[in-house]
Amino acid sequence: MDNYDHLDLDEIDFAPMDGCAERLALLTLQEAHDLLQLLLTIAQDGHPLSPQADRLAREIAARIPSAN
């Protein structure tokens, strides 16, 4: 498993949210693959956000193990 000790979550600006909810510090591998699939779908669809989705998909794909 990847080592995320270098991440300082106190240095990250999270979006405001309800005080009774709890955030997860990291995505699970399955969530990362789901997000990657969504971004690839948007990137290939000709959507106005396709360039941004393609860039994010490449960044995520470079950081997670293959689904196969």
How confident is the chain (68 residues) per 10-residue block, as mean pLDDT? 57 62 75 92 88 90 82
Angle (CA) 30-32-35 rounded to 5° is 110
54 is a domain residue = yes
1 is a domain residue = no
User: What is the number of structural domains in the chain?
Assistant: 1
What 3-state DSSP class applies to 5?
Answer: coil
Provide, for the chain, the percentages of residues in helix, strand and coil under a 3-state DSSP scheme, each rounded to the nearest 5.
Answer: 45, 0, 55
Angle of helix 29-44 relative to helix 50-61, nearest 10 degrees? Answer: 150
Structural domain harbouring 50: 9-61
Report the chain's C-alpha Rg in angstroms.
14
66 is a domain residue = no
24 is a domain residue = yes
Residue 40: what pLDDT?
Answer: 92
67 is a domain residue = no
32 is a domain residue = yes
